[in-house]
Structure formats: C-alpha cells, structure tokens
Amino acid sequence: MKKKYIVSVSVIVVLVFICVVGVSSFSSVEDTAASVPVDDEPEQIHLNEMLTNRLSDCEELQKMDRDIERFMRKWGIKGVSLAVSRNDSLLYAKGYGWAEEEKGIRMEPSHILRMASVSKLVTAVGIMKLQEEKKLKLTDKVFGPSGILNDTAYAGSIRDKRYYKISVEDLLRHRAGFTNRQGDPMFSTRYIMIGNNLTSAPDHETLLKIILRRSLRYDPGTWQRYSNFGYLLLSMIIEKVSGMDYETFMRKEVLEPAGCFDFRIAGNYYKDKYPNEVKYYVHDKAGLVDEYNNSGNQVERCYGGNDVHNLAGAGAWCASAAEICRLVASVDMDSVVPDILDRRSIEAMTAYIDRSTFPLGWADVKKNGEWARSGTLSGTSALVKRYKDGECWVLITNTSTWRGPYFTRETAKLFEMCRRKYGALFPNRNLFEADNPV
C-alpha cells in the first residue's frame, strides 16, 4: 500500500507541473527528476533553451520596440538581439528583425551571434580565474626561460630582447609593445602567408613564431596600443597553464559555472554555423574580397574574408545577448547571481586608473562606475554596458554597419534614451530563474 501511495503522489506532482509549465518541457524535467537528489542544488537553467520573444512581448514596451526598429532601419541592420538585466535579474530578452531573412527565420533571444572583441572580456575572466587558482600571476613573464610560453621553438625566434619583459598584465592592458604598423596579424593572414611562403593559413604556434621575429615598437609597460594579437597570446597562455584547449577550459571552468551553456567559438563560413546561430550580412555597397587563405576565391567579407575562428580569445566567441548578461552578472560584485571570481579580482578588472590606461578585459571603465565592452567584425557589432545603478544592456547585430566606429557611439545613445524613457516600465521579474513570472 505504501508503494502505491508514493506512486500516486508522484503522478499528481507531475500532472500539476505539466499544467503550470506546459507539456513541451516535461521530458527535460522528467530526466532531471530521475538524476538529481531531493536535497541537491537547484537545477542550472539553460537560458537559450527557454527564452522566446513571447516572454518579452510587453504592451508597456511597445514604444521601445518601435524605437529599436527605427534604429535598425536607419543603420540598415537585418537583425538585433537585445538583453537587459537589473541587479542580476534578467528583465528583458528579445530579438528584432531577421536571424536569416532568406529562410524567413525571425530573430529570437535564443539565437547566438558573433560578439567580436567582447570575447576579450571572456578571456580576461579566464586569466583572473587562473590567478585565483594560483596557476599564474599577472606579473608573470610571458617569454624567456622562466616565462609561461617558454618553448624553445619560440625562444629561437626572438630577436628583440624586450620580449622577455612582457608580462601577463601587459597583454591584458594592451601595453606589450605590439602595434599594427605591419598590419594587424589577426587580419593580415594572406600577407603573412605570402611573406613567409606558406601554403596554408598559419596556426597559432606558427603565427607566434613569425611575429616573434619582428621588433617591438615600444618597451613593454611604457605605452599602450590596442592589440588583438596580445589576446591571442592570452588564449595560448590559458591553454599552457590549464593543460586544456582554450575553448574547453573557458566553457568548463568559467562559462558553465557562470550559468552560460551556449557560448561557442565561431567558424569562418556559413556552412560552419551552429544550429541556433544567425546568418551574417554586410552592408549593401560592400563588394567581394579575397579569401583569407590565399585560395584566389572571392568571398563575402563576413564569410571567409578573415580567419574568425583563429581569433580565439581575441574575438571568436558567439553567444546570445542574454547569456552575456548572465556572464556580467557573474563578475559584478552583486550578490543575486553568485560571482565566479572573488571581489579582489573583479575590483582589479573594473578599477579606474586614468583615461590613458586600458582596464583588464573591459574596454572602458569610468570614474562613475560604468563599465563597457564593444566589438566589431564584418557582419556583426556588439556593445555591453554595465551601469553603476546595476543595469546591464547588451545589444548584438548580425549586420555590418556603414559608418564603422560611429555605430558603437550611437548604440550607447540608444541605451541611454531607452533607459530614460522606458526604464521604469520593465516587468519586475527574473528570467534567469526557471520559476520567473511571465
């Protein structure tokens, strides 16, 4: 009798659950119930499996929707993903326009998009995590016998002894001595292949050996110049110190503990895209370009014009705007979402030093407590802003803009306008949680 009673209660519980959340989610709940003990921690939410536009279709915010759509028309953008959190609670996550116009696929908050240099924030969090685990220090040297990348193959390439002065922190702050005087190494693959008689695009190790033969342009630590190559080196440092490939370490040790389960390293071509990844578009007047690997083919710049995959931690990540909000919530010293870094690490990443010093991972940190990170690649632009009042706004596009860096400035203005006009109208809820009110 006791066994029948237990079964009956279980059936009732399951039926009640179906009535509340719908039949579509039953199978995943059933699997979880079978494997998780009653007293275990709450189930981790996979945001991109539950978010839909319907959850953020709010009558009070219809005017904001129209403002965003006007913004898209002005800049000729096919699709936009927007997410807004406040005090570590996700209030809003919505897609606008097309994820892939030719197939009639509308943008949803579950779509992932290339985030370009927002990837550098992800990489910096990984470095800080390794420092907390005492596997490296920011003061550690990168090259030389006692350096992290101390492989003899690299040492044989170094001609400028100033390389031995470069520290991990110099790479994080773009002050290692690299400039783009001979072109950005991460976007000059064809010319590097020609100049070095290569028949295929160089992998990270080959590229590093080539760059190490060049002279630095200034003494490390004495000046700064934005460097994508420096963040590639940080990706290689993560691999060397952790003993894992970069993507595996970041997903296992940083992103999944932060509640981010759908970050992916991008491919170079449309055929490489993930099932829930958008299609990328260039503006109407953009012509074809030479393929990055010297094949002689002409391609769209966003699909083969550059070796996006090889950017690694400098610019190769894809994610949804909502999961980027979740990552920021995990490194912001707000207690609602548990931080994956300790307070000292986060304070170091967000410390304002002066206007001429890059922060760690973030692109801009202001005295007023505002943090920002932007990114641009052919086919995408991204902006992340975390405000002192606890709001975080993330917007990513799947279309190149025709005015380059001006777009980031105009996106920031859009955020300010929407905060001012609609900030009080967002629903009081938390989409980071499974039982949020919808």
Reported as a single tens digit per residue, the pLDDT across 378-432 is 999 999 999 999 999 999 999 998 776 789 999 999 999 999 999 999 999 999 9
- Cα-flanking dihedrals φ and ψ of residue 392, to 5°? -130, 125
pLDDT at position 9: 36
Q: How far is CA 28 from CA 9, 35, 238, 435, in A?
A: 20, 11, 34, 15
Tokens of 205: 């190790």
**Cα of 341 vs its chain's centroid, Å:** 17
pLDDT category of residue 344 using cuts at 50, 70 and 90: very high
| DSSP assignment of 128-177 | HHHHHTTS--TT-BSSSTTSSS--HHHHTT--SGGGGG-BHHHHHTT-SS
CB hemisphere CA count around 78 (13 angstroms): 23
The answer, yes or no, to whether residue 48 has pLDDT greater than 50, is: yes
The answer, yes or no, to whether residue 283 has pLDDT greater than 80, is: yes
- How far is residue 169's CA from residue 313's CA, in Å, rounded to a whole number? 15
Helix H or strand E encompassing 383: strand 380-386
- How far is residue 131's CA from residue 339's CA, in Å, rounded to a whole number? 15
Share of the chain above pLDDT 70, in %: 89
3-class state of residue 87 by DSSP: coil
pLDDT at position 404: 66
Of the candidates 311, 325, 302, the residue with the CA atom closest to the CA atom of residue 373:
325
Q: Which domains does the chain have, with CATH numbers?
A: 52-114+260-425 (3.40.710.10), 128-252 (3.40.710.10)
- How far is residue 385's CA from residue 325's CA, in Å, rounded to a whole number? 10
pLDDT at position 19: 34
- How far is residue 350's CA from residue 367's CA, in Å, rounded to a whole number? 10
User: Are the CB atoms for 256 and 129 separated by under 8 Å?
Assistant: no
Of the candidates 326, 319, 322, the residue with the CA atom closest to the CA atom of residue 259:
326
pLDDT category of residue 259 using cuts at 50, 70 and 90: very high
Reported as a single tens digit per residue, the pLDDT across 106-149 is 999 999 999 999 999 999 999 999 999 999 999 999 999 999 99
Q: Which residues is 80 bridged to in the sheet?
A: 96, 397
Reported as a single tens digit per residue, the pLDDT across 209-219 is 999 999 999 99
Q: Which residues contact 375 (CB under 8 A, 6 or more apart)?
A: 115, 116, 117, 118, 119, 120, 315, 381, 382, 383
Reported as a single tens digit per residue, the pLDDT across 6-42 is 334 343 333 333 333 333 332 333 333 333 343 444 5
